[in-house]
Protein backbone atom coordinates (compact mmCIF):
# COMPACT_ATOMS: atom_id res chain seq x y z
CA UNK A 1 0.00 0.00 0.00
CA UNK A 2 1.07 3.59 -0.58
CA UNK A 3 0.20 5.92 2.29
CA UNK A 4 -0.26 9.68 2.11
CA UNK A 5 0.30 11.16 5.58
CA UNK A 6 -1.09 14.55 6.51
CA UNK A 7 0.10 16.89 9.25
CA UNK A 8 -2.37 15.73 11.87
CA UNK A 9 -0.99 12.20 11.63
CA UNK A 10 2.67 13.22 11.59
CA UNK A 11 2.30 15.47 14.62
CA UNK A 12 1.22 12.48 16.67
CA UNK A 13 4.77 11.12 16.37
CA UNK A 14 6.21 14.10 18.22
CA UNK A 15 3.42 15.12 20.60
CA UNK A 16 1.63 12.91 23.08
CA UNK A 17 -1.95 13.04 21.85
CA UNK A 18 -4.91 10.71 21.63
CA UNK A 19 -4.21 8.15 18.89
CA UNK A 20 -0.43 8.74 18.92
CA UNK A 21 0.17 4.99 19.25
CA UNK A 22 -2.23 4.27 16.39
CA UNK A 23 -0.45 6.79 14.15
CA UNK A 24 2.93 5.19 14.91
CA UNK A 25 1.52 1.74 14.20
CA UNK A 26 0.11 2.74 10.80
CA UNK A 27 3.22 4.71 9.83
CA UNK A 28 5.40 1.74 10.71
CA UNK A 29 3.32 -0.62 8.58
CA UNK A 30 4.04 1.04 5.24
CA UNK A 31 7.30 1.65 3.45
CA UNK A 32 5.84 3.91 0.75
CA UNK A 33 5.08 7.16 2.53
CA UNK A 34 4.01 10.38 0.83
CA UNK A 35 3.25 13.89 1.99
CA UNK A 36 3.12 17.34 0.44
CA UNK A 37 5.69 20.09 0.85
CA UNK A 38 3.38 22.26 2.97
CA UNK A 39 3.24 19.51 5.60
CA UNK A 40 6.69 20.63 6.73
CA UNK A 41 5.34 24.12 7.42
CA UNK A 42 2.28 22.80 9.27
CA UNK A 43 4.24 20.38 11.44
CA UNK A 44 7.02 22.83 12.33
CA UNK A 45 4.48 25.56 13.15
CA UNK A 46 2.51 23.27 15.43
CA UNK A 47 5.62 21.92 17.13
CA UNK A 48 6.70 25.48 17.88
CA UNK A 49 3.32 26.24 19.41
CA UNK A 50 3.26 23.11 21.59
CA UNK A 51 6.89 22.75 22.71
CA UNK A 52 9.82 24.85 23.87
CA UNK A 53 13.48 24.35 24.69
CA UNK A 54 15.06 20.90 24.45
CA UNK A 55 11.79 19.06 23.68
CA UNK A 56 11.22 21.36 20.69
CA UNK A 57 14.77 20.88 19.45
CA UNK A 58 14.44 17.10 19.76
CA UNK A 59 11.06 17.04 18.00
CA UNK A 60 12.44 19.14 15.12
CA UNK A 61 15.39 16.76 14.74
CA UNK A 62 13.14 13.70 14.81
CA UNK A 63 10.80 15.24 12.27
CA UNK A 64 13.67 16.12 9.93
CA UNK A 65 15.05 12.58 10.22
CA UNK A 66 11.63 11.04 9.62
CA UNK A 67 11.10 13.13 6.49
CA UNK A 68 13.87 11.09 4.86
CA UNK A 69 11.42 8.17 4.62
CA UNK A 70 8.89 10.26 2.69
CA UNK A 71 8.49 11.13 -0.94
CA UNK A 72 7.61 14.82 -0.90
CA UNK A 73 5.00 16.06 -3.35
CA UNK A 74 5.78 19.57 -4.48
CA UNK A 75 3.02 22.17 -4.69
CA UNK A 76 3.17 22.34 -8.45
CA UNK A 77 0.66 24.26 -10.58
CA UNK A 78 -1.18 20.96 -11.20
CA UNK A 79 -1.45 20.26 -7.45
CA UNK A 80 -2.64 23.80 -6.78
CA UNK A 81 -5.19 23.63 -9.63
CA UNK A 82 -6.55 20.36 -8.22
CA UNK A 83 -6.69 21.97 -4.76
CA UNK A 84 -8.65 24.92 -6.15
CA UNK A 85 -11.22 22.62 -7.71
CA UNK A 86 -11.54 20.58 -4.52
CA UNK A 87 -11.81 23.69 -2.34
CA UNK A 88 -14.48 25.22 -4.55
CA UNK A 89 -16.55 22.03 -4.77
CA UNK A 90 -16.23 20.82 -1.18
CA UNK A 91 -15.63 24.05 0.71
CA UNK A 92 -12.66 22.54 2.56
CA UNK A 93 -9.98 24.60 4.24
CA UNK A 94 -7.04 25.71 2.12
CA UNK A 95 -4.41 23.43 3.67
CA UNK A 96 -6.78 20.45 3.48
CA UNK A 97 -7.44 21.22 -0.18
CA UNK A 98 -3.68 21.26 -0.81
CA UNK A 99 -3.32 17.83 0.84
CA UNK A 100 -6.17 16.45 -1.26
CA UNK A 101 -4.81 18.06 -4.44
CA UNK A 102 -1.41 16.48 -3.79
CA UNK A 103 -3.02 13.14 -3.07
CA UNK A 104 -4.98 13.35 -6.32
CA UNK A 105 -1.83 14.08 -8.32
CA UNK A 106 0.11 11.05 -7.07
CA UNK A 107 -2.30 8.25 -7.64
CA UNK A 108 -5.82 9.19 -6.88
CA UNK A 109 -7.93 6.73 -4.95
CA UNK A 110 -5.22 4.04 -5.18
CA UNK A 111 -3.37 5.90 -2.39
CA UNK A 112 -4.63 5.64 1.20
CA UNK A 113 -4.80 8.76 3.38
CA UNK A 114 -3.72 8.74 7.02
CA UNK A 115 -5.32 11.64 8.88
CA UNK A 116 -6.71 12.38 12.31
CA UNK A 117 -8.52 15.49 11.07
CA UNK A 118 -12.22 14.64 10.87
CA UNK A 119 -13.06 17.30 8.27
CA UNK A 120 -10.15 16.20 6.10
CA UNK A 121 -11.25 12.56 6.43
CA UNK A 122 -14.84 13.36 5.46
CA UNK A 123 -13.75 15.35 2.40
CA UNK A 124 -11.36 12.60 1.31
CA UNK A 125 -14.03 9.92 1.68
CA UNK A 126 -16.44 12.01 -0.39
CA UNK A 127 -13.81 11.95 -3.15
CA UNK A 128 -13.54 8.16 -2.96
CA UNK A 129 -10.35 7.79 -0.91
CA UNK A 130 -9.69 5.14 1.70
CA UNK A 131 -8.95 6.90 4.97
CA UNK A 132 -7.17 5.54 8.04
CA UNK A 133 -7.02 7.28 11.38
CA UNK A 134 -10.51 8.68 11.80
pLDDT in tens, 5-41: 999 999 999 999 999 999 999 998 878 999 999 999 9
Residue-range definition of the domain harbouring residue 117? 3-133
In whole angstroms, give the CA distance from residue 103 to residue 59: 26
What pTM value is reported for the model?
0.94
> 113: domain CATH number?
3.40.50.1010
Grade residue 80 by pLDDT with cuts at 50, 70 and 90. very high
Q: How many domains does one find in the chain? A: 1
Amino acid sequence: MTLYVDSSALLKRYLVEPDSERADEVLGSDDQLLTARHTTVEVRRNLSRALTGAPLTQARRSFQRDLGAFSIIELSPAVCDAAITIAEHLGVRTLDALHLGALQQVGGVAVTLLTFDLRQAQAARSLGYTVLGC
